[in-house]
Each structure stands twice: as C-alpha cells, then as structure tokens.
Amino acid sequence: MLRDIPGLVWILSIFMVGVISLFLYSRTGPDPLASAESVWDQSRVIADLIKRRSLQLNPGEKRTLHDISSFQILVERLTDVEIPNPAARYTLEFTPKRDVPDYGFMKRSFRLGVLDFAPNAVVGNLQIVAIRKIDEVRE
C-alpha cells in the first residue's frame, strides 16, 4: 500500500517533519536573561537625570520608570526640608524585574535616600545620605 504513495508526497512529508523539528529546536534552551546591570550604575543615571533636571518631580510626587533598566525604578520626591540644611529629599527604589536572576546583592529591593542641596539651581547638588538593602525573599 505504501508503494502507491508517490515520491513527492514522501519528500514533502519529510520536509514538513524537518521544518517542525527545526521550529521545535529553535524554541528550546533557557529563557533569555535581562542584560546585566549594576544597580549603582543605574542609580547614577537617575541621580544625573535629577541633577540635570531631565527628571523633574514636585514635592510628594512619585514616578515609576519601567523601560530604562533591568530594574523597575520608583523615584519619589518627598517634601523639602530646611533642617539641618535646606534640601530636596528623594528616595530611589530599585526592584529586579522578572527576568533578572537572583544575583545575591539584593533580593527584594534596594533603596537610596538622596538629598539635593541645590534644589532651585539649574544643576543640582545630589548626595546619597542613606542606603537600605531589603533582603527579604522575593515572592
């Protein structure tokens, strides 16, 4: 009975099987990782945006930056203070995105307290004044 199937059908069938195998092969392998980045380098990028006034927030305003890093970054400007020095207060929170592996430096998130000692100047004067690693296991 198989002898009655024409050669072209055989060839096309084998070709189809080959194409499907190639397709399946192309889908195998580990999931791609997010490109490796230092959370400190990213914090400098954000601090520079604030310093150059490319990222401007009003006191009490929050903004989440999704697309510029392997981390999800939450920038919050708190109310300004006068004591001990006049300064604008910012907190930067870095949370690893889903495709970031557990690289051990932080598990859940990483927060920085940043002061801008020249909040009204064209170019700010930013200093990191507090650091907090939140090492609870990611859910």
Q: How far, in whole angstroms, is CA 9 from its chain's centroid?
A: 51
Query: Which of 46, 47, 73, 115 contacts another protein by CB under 8 A?
Result: 115
3-class DSSP state for residue 112? strand
Q: Which residues pair with 132 in a beta bridge?
A: 111
| 30 in contact with another protein (CB under 8 A) | yes
| 60 in contact with another protein (CB under 8 A) | no
| 138 in contact with another protein (CB under 8 A) | no
Nearest distance, CB of residue 58 and another protein, angstroms: 17
Query: Which of 41, 67, 136, 139 contacts another protein by CB under 8 A?
Result: 41
The full DSSP string for 49-87 is HHHTTSS---TT-EEEE-TTSSEEEEEEE---B-SSS-B
Cα–Cα nearest to 58, from 29, 78, 28: 78
Q: Which stretch binds another protein (CB under 8 A): 46-54, 56-64, 97-105?
A: 97-105
| 89 in contact with another protein (CB under 8 A) | yes
Sequence-distant (6+) residues with CB within 8 A of 27 are none
Q: Which stretch binds another protein (CB under 8 A): 10-18, 45-53, 54-62?
A: 10-18
H-helix or E-strand containing 129?
strand 126-134
Binding residues (CB under 8 A) for another protein: these are 3-8, 11-12, 14-15, 18-19, 22, 25-26, 29-30, 32-41, 44, 78, 81, 83-85, 89-91, 100-101, 103-105, 111-113, 115, 117, 125, 127-133
